[in-house]
Structure 1
């Protein structure tokens, strides 16, 4: 059975493991919610766990809630330039940053303004880096309790982090801060490189009993 997942901003390791291990359909008709991995991800820097947050244009007044698919990024300041500089500073000395730099950097040079589509691009970029084919199917409607899919939409919730038993790997600032689990897939990619796909395939996940 396929799993139902939100496209997130360079998703967490657990989320990407779920994408690798299952056939996926993307949730495209939910309402946007704040403080989720829809517009944030976490990396490791010299100061510890660090959030990269994509600013969005908020809809107010009579319009109220907006669909995730309709959310636009706030580009009045160059958040892409800021995020890329932060990634460079954090991972320049990691084993595989230079190996994948040319695949990741172009995402921070485009003029995207649709959050949903940009996030799918980040997921696709990782798929190309690790050599997998990514599903493109999206939901036709919103279902509160899906009947044809395993509901894994909870993976996008940043404030309800589960303990996935993330297997330790070497991180750039591990000696300073210890191992930080379930960061953005970028942390795994830049540190583990060509072993990333094997790592994701072997990460034990139980999505049905969370």
Structure 2
């Protein structure tokens, strides 16, 4: 039986997201869903020298009560340079940075207007680099249910991952300091562990 999971689209998803979708044959996304503030749709966390920092993509308008597919990125703010500098500062000396960063840099340089499309392209690259052969499909909310699991709305910044049943931290090499920071952006794992990333994710899947 084909395993398909209905999921939310995140900006450089964290490790919990990937632990939750490993083993799926297909991911089903719903661009018509309303944009939710304080979600992972436009933010991710990376490990900096002295702290865990948040990268946020600014959006046009104020608290828009519209569908995710209509959210436009605000390029009047210099967020691209901020994100590029932040990623370089955090991971420029990581073992696999020089191999993987150009893939993402090319997408940043496109100045994609739609946040949905930006996230879609970045996630496609992440799945490819991880070696996770899962299909991605867009579905209208008006169509009949055609998925086996639904985790939409469950992965939220306001609730710790420890309270959900998807992810248990599996430590790996990180830059800066001795304490391990779990559940960061997938960028942290990819830049630090490269081809070993998928194996680490498999070990981090929470046993039911």
Common fold by TM > 0.5: yes
Which residue matches 1:179? 180
Shift of 1:203: 2.3
Residue equivalent to 2:21:
19
User: CA RMSD for the aligned pairs?
Assistant: 2.0
Aligned to 1:3: 5
Summarize the alignment of residues 117-196 of structure 1 with structure 2, pairs less than 5 Å apart: 117-141=117-141, 148-163=147-162, 164-175=167-178, 178-196=179-197
Contact in 2 for aligned 1:28/1:138 (Cα 8 Å): yes
Match of 1:72 in 2: 72
TM-score (norm 2): 0.88
Distance in 2 separating the partners of 1:129 and 1:3: 20
Matched-pair contact (CA < 8 Å) for 1:42–1:183: yes
Q: TM-score, normalised by structure 1?
A: 0.87
**Structure 1 regions of 5+ residues with no counterpart?**
none
Alignment of 1:57-136 (within 5 A): 57-58=60-61, 65-136=65-136
Q: 1:131 deviation in Å? A: 2.8
Which 5+ residue runs of structure 2 have no aligned equivalent?
none
Deviation at 1:91, TM superposition (A): 0.5
**Number of equivalent positions:** 200
Q: In the superposition, relative to structure 1, how do residues 148 and 161 fare at CA in structure 2: closer, same or farther (>3 Å)?
A: same
Is the Cα contact below 8 Å between 1:166 and 1:203 reproduced in 2?
A: yes
